[in-house]
Structures are given as C-alpha cells and as structure tokens.
Chain A
C-alpha cells in the first residue's frame, strides 16, 4: 500500500470519528435540548449563604455570644400536593405535632411558617427531601453559651438576626455581616443528589468579632454576690461595676436580677435593663469626696484645715443634720469624710468653695453627661444649673441630694481619684476583629496631690471610727465611701423614710489602686438599708475575690518588695 493511500484511509477514519462526535453533539443540542434543560432547571438551586453574626468574647476569649447555622422552614400550602405525606416526613425531623402540621399544609394559604431558626443539621435533612412546596431559607441563630453572665450587657438579637438590646444593639453595624448568594446545580435528584456545579454570585461577608474588656469570671462573681445580697435584703435591683482605673477598662458590669440571654422574654422588662448606665439616682454620701476634692484643688481648704462642725446647720429654709447626733466638734476634711458629716461638707461647699466653683468641679468630674461607654441608652443624670439654684441648693447638692447620677458616672469619678487625678474614658470594647481599639484621650481633672490626699481621707472610712470600719480585706488597705440615699416618695413628693439606695464605692490597694468597684443596691426592704450594711458586704466579697483573681500583691508584700529593692 502506498503512503498516499494510507494517508487517505487514515483521513477517512478520522473524518468518520469526527462526524460521529458532531452528530452526537447535534442530537444533544437539538433533539434532547428540551429534556436536558428541564433537568438542568430542576437541579439548579440558587442559595442564600447566610452571613454569621460576629462573635462576642470576653477579654480571655470565652465566648459570650456566637452564631450558628440555622434555617427557616416555610411552606406554600397551595403548592403542596401531598400534605399528609409531607407532614409525615417533616414532623419527626422538626419534632412538632404531625396533625397540626398536616392542618397547616392543607390550607389554601399561599405562605405559612413551619419552623423558625431550625438547627443546621435538621435543615439539611429537610433540604435533602426536596419536598415540593417546602422552602428552606438559610439563616443563623444566636446562642449565648454563658446564659446569664453579662446577659443584660450583651443584650439579645431578634428572630431576623438584628440586635435589639445591649451591645447587640449598639454594635449592630459591627456585628452584622452581609449575606452571599450561591448557585448550585445538582447532578441527580433524591438522596443521591450531588452538586456538579457551584458558582458564588456574591461573596458572603461575615460580621466582625468583638472582644470585650469584660472578664467573664469577674462578671459572674459580681452577679453572684449581687444575687446573694440582693436576695438577702429583699432589694428590687442591684448593680456592680469593676473597673481598672489606669486604663478605664470595665472588667464587669453586672445587673441583678439575672436574665437568661437565650430566653430574654421570660424576664420582666425592668430586669433586662443595664442598671449601671440606665439607673438614675441621688448618690448621697458617695458624692461628698468630690465636693472636698474641688475645695482642695482650688486650695480653698487644706488637709489640715479646721472646721467647727455642729450637729445641724441651717441653710435657707432647711435644717440639715448629721446622721449621728453629736456635739459641736472640730473636724478636719479627713474627719468630715471619715464620719460622713453632712454639716461639715456643707460648710466646705458653702463657705469655702462657693456655688459656682462647686458646679464647675462636679461637672469636671464627669457628672451631668454620659461617660461614653459603649452601651445603648446611657443616661446622663441631671445637674442643676447654678442659675437655678435655690437658697437651699448649696445645702443639698454638695452632700449628694438634688442631683441625679448613674452608677457608671460614680465609678468613673472614683476611678479618676484612683488614677492620681487623671480621668480615663470608660470602655467595654477591647478589640474588633483582632484590632485593638484606640484609647480615648485621657484628661487630668485634679492634681496628683489632691487625688492622693482624697485617697488618704477615704482610707479612714474603712478604719476604726469610719462608717465602713467592718469592710476590711486582710492584706489590703481599702479606700472608699459608703452611701445611703433616700428616694423621693411619688405620693408625697418628699423624701421617703422607707425607700433607700444603699451603695459603697471603693478602691484597693489604697495607695496604688488597681481595682475600683461600685456596688449599688436599690430599695432594700428587710430591715437594713445603710450602705455599709447592704452594699458594703457585697463590695468586700467582690473586691477580695477580684484582688485574688488578678493576683494583685498585698500591701505588705508590696512594701516588702519596695524595702528590698530600695535596700539592694
């Protein structure tokens, strides 16, 4: 056979093969076009890829809020051809009553919810059944593994994944992601379905994770102590704040009664409130240190200034007395604070400081405006404008009556005194998506000397003769102030003799405070109502545990270390 002939034969064979391939392609694109397109349409499934909401963790990484895959199951009853069979298949998976489901699927409605926020594994089983008239819409479900810990602070999100309260609401823009869209084409139907084609039409953008300054263990301990003493004294509510004065970071912001974040609607509405920032009250004696600090800073008084303090004082048309009857005594500012003398404080404010400078200093400490902590609905309290002062205002305001403050404002102001007169912006957010958040500009309020002098005065509160003498923690010196404030009786418009707010705010170690704790218990109703009696024990337990947890050196260890280093 010649070469030419061989080539011709080979060419003919190739042409035949090519022709066969073309014929098959032509058949698929013409004869079988309709059936193939029908199969393709049947297997094509556009899918929404739900964007998970950002995770909220505490400062150690413990998860406080997390999103898990879920789905909403809906039905078009008029499209459901076999409601009995469909109900029989869905009911065991969803764990619902089959009869009720059958009734729902048998109606003439165009749309009906079957189940909301179904766990992801159940949703996959339902999706694989490919029941006509049943739609599986992917979504996410919020879960709070710590349940009651920081529940009011974290808040909760609604059924559509939107934040409704707490940090879930205030950080909505950060936590919320953007859903994506994906096209899936299935190769076969039924149980043997498999995806043969995937195309992401829009990328899913998950929400950003938020790391709080909160320590879940300190938070839990604070809530535990609040629950213990709140229940013990029959209080209506309580709050505890733990702060680092040098950074402004809030380690705990507890509220009582407890609320389960996974079932927030089971608790009353007032229980879901963040008491630390949403509760306005008259601070009482816990406000006195700031009156004295203003006078010290302006050098209107000195720590050794002497005052002749009677038992009562007349201010305009009001007579104001000390809590404990005594004779006229000579007191220093330190004595006035240690014994919490109303008369002595009024003398400092009225006779040395003056109304205008008093107003300036209390505003400088941050009262009358929100602290800026990242929770929704923070109250600003209320301060009377000096122009609106009455004759007796200078007799009430300096001792913590007549103005409204929040526990967070008080804690921040005491943290300023603990931080040598520098006010750090209180904050709850440490990192967002791993990025540390910039710290706000610090502000000097009073001098180091004034802050140190005030702390020395507040140390005497927990020493013998002070109003909080029993509030001692072995190994540490505590500086703090008790407070017992009367509520205004709505019926009479006057101060009540049965409704009080007990509080104690302190810092430790007194010379170089590492922790500031504010405890406010509202309306104790079982006999005791004084700050030292009701709020003091809660403060002591919480401070002791927190100092141990944070491994803060005791005052004796600190002084030993200083002696050894100085002697070395």
Chain B
C-alpha cells in the first residue's frame, strides 16, 4: 500500500469520525459498544498502516529528495476514504472518533511536495496500544516531520490548558515520504463529549515555521531587556544600600573608638586612684587613726593548724586583752633595746670599727 493510499484512508477515517462526533455538553451521548468496536478497529488499522509504512520506506529509498519545504496548503487531491476510520484511543475519556471521509486522490510520488494536513492532535504523546514507542526523528529529515499543531480556538476564545502541542516525530527511514511519516505520526484523537473542539494540528515547514518563531522571539527580547534593566537597577540599589550601611558602620566605629578612648582613660584613672589608695603611708595613717595594733609574730598565738573555725574569735579576745599601741610605736610591755638613745646598752654592743695604723 502506498503512502497516498494511506493518506486517503486516514482522511476518510477522519471524516467518519467527525460525522459521528457527539454534540457538546448536555446533549452528547456516547456511542456505546459500537463506538468501542469502532475504536478497536481503528487501532488495528493504524497498526497495519504503520507496518505498511515501514515496509514502503524500505522499498522507496531515502526521502532526502524532498528538500523544499512545502507551503501550507490544503491537500491537492483528497485521498480516498478508508472504510475504517483511523482512530487512536486517548487515555481517559475520549470517545472514539471516526476519521472523516476523504475524497479519492491520485497516487503521490516521492518527489511531490509534502501535503499539509490538519488533524486533531492528542493532548499527550499517544502510544499505540500494544505498539512500541516511536524513536525520535533522525537528523536531516525535513521540517515537515516536526509538526506544530494549530492551537485550537474555543468558542470562548480561551486557549485550552494542558494542551500538549508536541507532536510525536515520525520514526522510520529517510526514504519514506514526509507526508506519510507526518500522517502516520499523527493519530486521530477521539474526543470526549465534554471536550472542546479538536485542536487543529498545523504542520509548519520551512520559512513559515521560522517566521512564527521569529515573532515570538521579538516578544521575548523585550522581556529580557526589561528583566536586565530591573536587575541592574536592583543591583545598583543593593550596592547603594550596602554603601550606606558601610558609612553607618564607619560612623559607629568612630563613636566606638571615642568611647574606647574614654574608657581607657577612665581605667587608667581608676588604676592610679587604687594604687594611691593602697600606699603604705596611707594604710599606716589610717591604722593609727583607728588605733589598730600590730602584734609581734611571737604574740600571734591564736593560729592553729587544726581547727580554724574559731580563729577570729580567739584573735579578737587576745587582742582586746592587750594594751592598745599605735602602729609603729613602742609597746610599753616589751623592753626596747633598739633605740639609739639608750647608750647604757650600747657599750656592750659596740661594733668593732676597723682601725688601721698607716
């Protein structure tokens, strides 16, 4: 089976699916068991067509001769309608949709420009039941192998969310025609009764695709420039704020340095004052004023190495019993022989002067 035949059958299936499309919410009814049978038959057909497509590619050779991107245009000759609609079950709540009937068409050759088809697209990359995932498109394939669906327009003008605009690229050999690969990669999407109108897959090739992307880039550039400006302004703002903070910190450092200097001066002054207060002369004068006595070491008899709990009391008792003598004075009870004026004792303690006879 040639690629053209496959295409015709696809269109026919699609037409059938659209004719049996249920109405919108409220009045839509499920086809029931007949729909399930139709769905299963569509899947079988799709699998057979994929197999056929792979065989035809091996026979036809590389498809690299198709280098000229085809303009977006309706099919030159509508293909024949396949008795069995091509449909792919969409996981979820999609009802099987019969492929629309396609008019008969002349066989296409490999040199013909690829036709532009619009087809409903699945929300997700569909996986054929029981089939293997299609590998990614190889390099060098024409742009038509990558299709970008047309964003469906709902009645309320809102772009449906979650629309997966990706289209599975066609796997296969380079010799296969692009249209065949595009069509084979585009499964029929069944819609549930609650779904909106099917999104139209717009296969863009060549300059058309580029021009579409170019208009989106201009919009992105403005946003990028604006973002850059905002970033610069924010950065400058942060830098200025940091400088202000550094200035504040420097000001605080200056105040702290002054405070440190004042505290150091105060500390030095306190140390000087403490040192002058603990001079021996001042302590002696104060002790004399308070009539404190300084006992001889031999009079210190209230210290014991054992019990130290009552030392203070014993010391006070002993000291109170002794006559009060000012500090530095001579205790009347202690014989003093150290005064230089007591010459009576000096005769016995005369130091031996060194005398020499020259």
Contacts and interface: CB of A to CB of B under 8 A. Distances in A.
25 contacts: A4-B219, A8-B222, A14-B226, A18-B233, A21-B236, A62-B278, A63-B274, A66-B272, A120-B265, A143-B268, A184-B254, A198-B254, A198-B257, A319-B357, A323-B352, A323-B354, A342-B355, A471-B338, A475-B296, A486-B353, A528-B346, A530-B346, A532-B349, A533-B340, A545-B294
Nearest to B301: A557
A184 B261 CA distance: 15
B271 interface: yes
Contacts of A323: 350-355
B280 interface: yes
Interface string B317-358: 000000000000000001001111000011011111111111
Summarize A's interface: helix, strand, loop or mixed.
Answer: mixed
A17 B233 contact: yes
Contacts of A540: 338
B234 to A, nearest CB: 10
Interface string A487-505: 0000000110000101000
Nearest to A182: B257
Contacts of B225: 11
A341 interface: yes
Contact of B350 (A14, A486, A530): A530
Nearest to B348: A469
B251 interface: yes
Contacts of A69: 261, 264-265, 268
A8 B346 CA distance: 118
A399 B283 CA distance: 43
Interface in A532-563: 532-534, 536-537, 540-541, 544-545, 547-548, 552, 554, 556, 561
Contact of A400 (B230, B273, B281, B354): B354
In this complex, the member of B225, B250, B255, B339 whose beta carbon has the largest number of chain A beta carbons within 10 angstroms is B250
A82 interface: no
Contacts of B268: 66-69, 143
B340 A66 contact: no
A195 B258 CA distance: 10
A169 interface: no
A539 B280 CA distance: 18
A534 B275 CA distance: 32
B208 interface: no
* Leading 8 A-B pairs by shortest Cβ distance: A195-B254, A323-B352, A220-B280, A475-B298, A145-B275, A530-B351, A474-B298, A340-B352
A64 B350 CA distance: 40
Nearest to A556: B298
Interface in A336-367: 339-342
B297 interface: yes
B357 A544 contact: no
Interface of B: 219, 222-223, 225-226, 229-230, 232-233, 236, 247, 250-251, 253-255, 257-258, 261, 264-265, 268-269, 271-276, 278-281, 283-284, 294, 296-300, 305, 334, 337-340, 345-346, 348-358
A122 B314 CA distance: 55
Contact of A470 (B283, B284, B334, B337): B337
Interface residues of A, number: 96
A285 interface: yes
Contacts, number: 212
Contact of B351 (A21, A62, A143, A482): A482
Contact of B281 (A67, A224, A285): A224
A55 B349 CA distance: 46
A233 interface: yes
Nearest to A140: B268
Interface string A304-334: 0000000000000011111110000000000
Summarize B's interface: helix, strand, loop or mixed.
Answer: helix
B340 A63 contact: no
Interface of A: 4, 7-8, 10-11, 14-15, 17-18, 21, 55, 62-64, 66-69, 120-121, 143, 145-147, 149, 184, 187, 194-198, 216-217, 220-221, 224, 229, 232-233, 284-285, 318-324, 339-342, 396, 399-401, 466-476, 482-486, 494-495, 500, 502, 528-534, 536-537, 540-541, 544-545, 547-548, 552, 554, 556, 561
A540 B251 CA distance: 63
Nearest to B240: A21
Contacts of B250: 195-198
B342 to A, nearest CB: 8
Nearest to B334: A474
Contacts of A474: 296-299, 334
A112 B258 CA distance: 28
A474 B333 CA distance: 13
B338 A196 contact: no
Nearest to B226: A11
Given A18-B232, A320-B356, A321-B355, 11 more contacts: A4-B222, A14-B230, A18-B233, A145-B272, A198-B253, A323-B350, A475-B297, A476-B297, A495-B354, A531-B351, A548-B300
B275 A533 contact: no
A62 B275 contact: yes
B233 A221 contact: no
Contacts of A147: 276, 279
B339 A537 contact: yes
B350 A467 contact: yes
A68 B274 CA distance: 15
